[in-house]
A and B are shown apart, each in its own frame.
Chain A
Amino acid sequence: MTAAEWLRHNAGEIADLTAWHLWLSILPLLIGLLVALPLGRLAHRSRRLYPMLVALAGLVYTVPSLALFILLPKLLSTRILDPVNVVIALSVYTTALLVRVVADGLAAVPADVIQSAHAMGYRSHQRLIRIELPIAVPVIAAGLRVAAVSNVSIVSMAALLGVPQLGSLFTQGFQLHFFTPIVTGVVLSLVIALVLDGLILLAGHSLTPWQPRRSAR
């Protein structure tokens, strides 16, 4: 079978796998961000919690993804094939990465800006929502880009357990000694990573029209 034939035959399945891959990458990103925001704020506010949370996040990040995929079913009483394991594992990684990012982003808000807001009579939550978080957007967005790209790459590991996404093309191709599925999977995975990265970059820019524009990184 030639590459073109294979692609034609499997177009539908490839589209399905791509959709799954997207879903499994993006959902944990959102969950991770939602969890990391309050945790990061907590870490930022407490001198004692910050090193603890950062160290914990570092240790969590140390656990290889494949190991986490396998251990989660035991902890959650889910089946090993359940995509929920992947979503939760990646949410945990994303949170671990972003807790520190959010804390550092908030810490990078200039002290005199905070003092001004304080003295002007902003209440604590008003200051967080209207002043600190908007100013921390560039740092958080940079962290989110790293998390997004990593997620897209990690998701494919779940193929070893049989959870369907683009990684499934790798195992298929490997068993058949056939390059086309593997290359297709790698390319699509790269494209997804690139697109997500670009989208977050754009979103970050549109949320921060106030930033001096330097060349994009």
Chain B
Amino acid sequence: MIRFDNVTKAYPDGTVAVDRLSLEAPTGKITVLVGPSGCGKTTSMRMVNRLIEPTSGTITLGGQPVSGTDATELRRKIGYVIQHAGLFPHKNVADNVMALPRLLGLGRREARTRALELLERVGLGPQFADRYPWQLSGGQQQRVGVARALAADPPYLLMDEPFSAVDPVVRAQLQEEFLRLQREIGKTIVLVTHDIDEALKLGDQVAVLREGGRLAQAAAPAELLARPADAFVAGFVGRDRGYRALGFAGTGDGVIPAAEPAVVLGATRAEAEAAALDGWILVTAPGGEPVGWAALDRLDGDRVTEQDLNLSATTARTDGTLRELLDAALSSPSGRGVLVDAEGHLAGTVSPTAVARAIEEAASATAPAGATAGSVEPAAGSAAEAPAGSHL
């Protein structure tokens, strides 16, 4: 656990970067510090590995105050990832990843083996090991940065805007992979971002800071959306928070999918007409995975081909969040949201009304007391933002 206890950072010129911050980042969870620029979020994080020394207050790491340990030794126990990765330009990828263990005396061969393992963990094949940083894309550099932070297997990880320097598509992908990775490694992570969507997506706990370095609210994402502590948090969390809150408001367990007839891609027009409801027919791949909707009156030949498919709809997993379910229902051209099971096979469809009913039930079932700092509920569903599952 990383614990901030009444921590203040003031500069000689009178600027207060962090003002009496008390916060716990629970073991094995992701705590996100978020806020506008100048709110002291990065300063707060950098005090953990003593890149900045607090003016007053204490920070403890697993019960040990950080000020009591040698700064260098402390840093070697804490992985660190920054915005532009900060890779060493003169070392190849494998040497970058293992720079610290090598510095501490690990043998070349062992280091190499371990580097390849770590690279695989972050989704980079062995062909990347001998490349130099300039030969990598921004997203790849960031993956190497994460691998490097994990090299000494530190229990703690600090991440400073780790996904901000890449384009939105790559960012979403990196975020997904990061969550998958964290499920495997379970580190205690403090992550800094200015992007509230990223905070809500990644954080088990989200700490919103305001200008002047004061903590406005620390809570699980659902709690933050449902019960912002004040107008600043409400404003910062932004519009659509009711809709976004559905991402944390429980699953569609209570929704019973209606049976949906479907045909396999390549079926004849007659087969499609026989099966269709309301003029729309759901088309699947031979394995049973939905691939798109086809409108009977627009079929362009004797068979259902890929040209006939309308791909506008998203799919939701049967155990997905209410937000996914609603999005699937709203985005479907037939008005029926497609549900798939864990294997991606068609499980049935759901109407917007059915989802709305489920939302009402979920709302009345939620206990009013929410998560506060220190007692964080596991976030429901990992994917709050981009509707999980594939686009049809």
**Within 8 Å by CB, do A and B touch in the complex?**
yes
Residues on A facing B (Cβ under 8 Å): 110, 112-113, 115-123, 126, 130-131, 134-135, 137, 208, 210, 212
Taking CB as reference atom, which chain B residue is nearest A126? B103
| Chain A neighbourhood of B158, CB < 8 A | 119
Q: Is residue B309 contacting chain A, with contact meaning CB distance below 8 A? A: no
Q: Whose C-beta in chain B lies nearest to the C-beta of A130?
A: B103
Verify B86–A115 contact, CB threshold 8 A.
Answer: yes
Q: Given the complex, which residues of A lie within 8 Å of B74, measured CB to CB?
A: 121
Tell whether, in the assembled complex, residue A119 and residue B132 are in contact, meaning their CB atoms are under 8 Å apart. Answer: no
A117 and B88 in contact, given A123-B72, A210-B132, A212-B134 (Cβ under 8 angstroms): yes
Residue from A116, A118, A126, A135 within 8 A of B90 (CB atoms): A135
Q: Closest CB of chain B to A166's CB: distance in Å?
A: 38
A137, B73: Cα distance in complex, Å: 29
Question: Given known contacts A119-B51, A121-B76, is B103 in contact with A112 (CB within 8 Å)?
Answer: no
Give the Cβ gap from A111 to chain B, nearest Cβ, in Å: 9
* Contact in complex: A121, B73 (CB < 8 Å): yes
- Pick from A118, A121, A210: contact of B100, CB under 8 Å: A121
What total of chain B residues lie within 8 Å of the partner, measured CB to CB?
29
Q: Which residue of B lies closest to A135 (CB)?
A: B90
Q: What is the bound-complex CA distance between A122 and B51, given in angstroms?
A: 12
Segment at the A interface, from B77-85, B111-119, B215-223, B367-375: B77-85
Q: Does B227 contact A (CB under 8 A)?
A: no
Q: Establish whether residues B91 and A113, one from each chain, have CB atoms under 8 Å apart when the complex forms.
A: no
* A115 proximity list for chain B (CB < 8 A): 51, 82, 86
Do the beta carbons of B89 and A122 come within 8 Å of each other?
no
Residues of A within 8 A of B67 (CB): none
Assess A208 versus B90: contact at CB under 8 Å? Given A120-B75, A120-B76: yes
- In angstroms, how far is the closest chain B Cβ from the Cβ of A214? 12
Q: Do A116 and B75 touch (CB < 8 A)? A: no
Decide if A210 touches B91 in the complex (CB within 8 Å): yes
Interface: B49 (CB within 8 A): yes
Tell me which residues from 200 to 217 in chain B have a Cβ below 8 Å from any Cβ of chain A: none
- A210 x B89 contact (CB < 8 A): yes
Top 8 A-B residue pairs of the complex, sorted by shortest distance between their CB atoms: A116-B86, A121-B76, A112-B86, A121-B75, A119-B80, A210-B90, A210-B132, A134-B90
* Chain B, 55-96, CB within 8 A of any chain A CB: 72-76, 78, 80, 82-92
Flag whether B99 is at the interface (Cβ < 8 A): yes
B89 contact from A113, A120, A130, Cβ within 8 A: A113
A116 touches B89 (CB 8 A): no
Q: In the complex the two chains form, what is the Cα distance from A116 to B81 in whole Å?
A: 8
Q: Which residues of B contact A121 (CB under 8 A)?
A: 72-76, 100
Q: Say whether A135 contacts B72, CB under 8 Å.
A: no
Instruction: Specify which chain A residues have a CB less than 8 angstroms from the CB of B148 in the assembled complex.
Output: 120
CB contacts (< 8 Å) of B100 on chain A: these are 120-122
26 A-B pairs whose Cβ atoms sit less than 8 Å apart in the complex? A112-B82, A112-B86, A113-B86, A113-B88, A115-B51, A116-B80, A116-B82, A116-B87, A118-B75, A119-B49, A119-B51, A119-B80, A120-B80, A120-B99, A120-B148, A121-B72, A122-B72, A122-B100, A123-B72, A130-B99, A131-B90, A137-B90, A208-B90, A210-B92, A210-B133, A210-B134
Known: A117-B88, A130-B103. 4 other contacts (CB 8 A): A119-B80, A120-B80, A126-B103, A131-B90
Q: Assuming the A-B contacts A112-B83, A126-B103, A130-B103, are A119 and B90 also in contact, with contact meaning beta carbons closer than 8 angstroms in the complex?
A: no
Would A122 and B103 count as touching, CB distance under 8 A?
Answer: yes
Docked CA distance A210–B74 (Å): 30
Chain A residue at smallest Cβ distance from B50: A119
- Give Cα distance in the complex from A134 to B96, angstroms: 14
Q: Which residues of chain A are near B90, meaning CB under 8 Å? A: 131, 134-135, 137, 208, 210
Residues from chain B with Cβ under 8 Å of A135 in the complex: 88-90
Contacts of A119 in B (CB 8 A): 49, 51, 75, 78, 80, 82, 158
Are A110 and B89 closer than 8 Å at their CB atoms?
Answer: yes
- The smallest beta-carbon distance between B99 and chain A, in angstroms, is 7
- In the assembly, what is the distance between CA of A130 and CA of B83, in Å? 22
Digit string of B101-123 for contact with A (CB within 8 Å is 1, else 0)? 00100000000000000000000
Complex formed: what's the CA distance from A116 to B76 in Å? Answer: 11
Chain B residue nearest to A113 (CB atoms) is B86
Q: Determine how close the nearest CB of chain B comes to the CB of A32; give it in whole angstroms.
A: 24
In angstroms, Cα B76 to Cα A120, docked, is 6
Interface residues of B in 147-203 (CB under 8 A from A): 148, 158
Complex interface: chain B residues within 8 A of A212 (CB): 134
* CA distance in complex: A113, B133 (Å): 12
From known contacts A210-B89, A210-B91, infer whether A118 and B82 are also in contact, taking CB-CB under 8 Å: no
**Cα separation A99 to B176 with both chains bound (whole Å):** 48
Inside 8 A of A123's CB, which chain B residues have their CB? 72
Quote the shortest CB–CB distance from A163 to chain B (angstroms).
41
Nearest CB of chain B from residue A210's CB, rounded to whole Å: 5
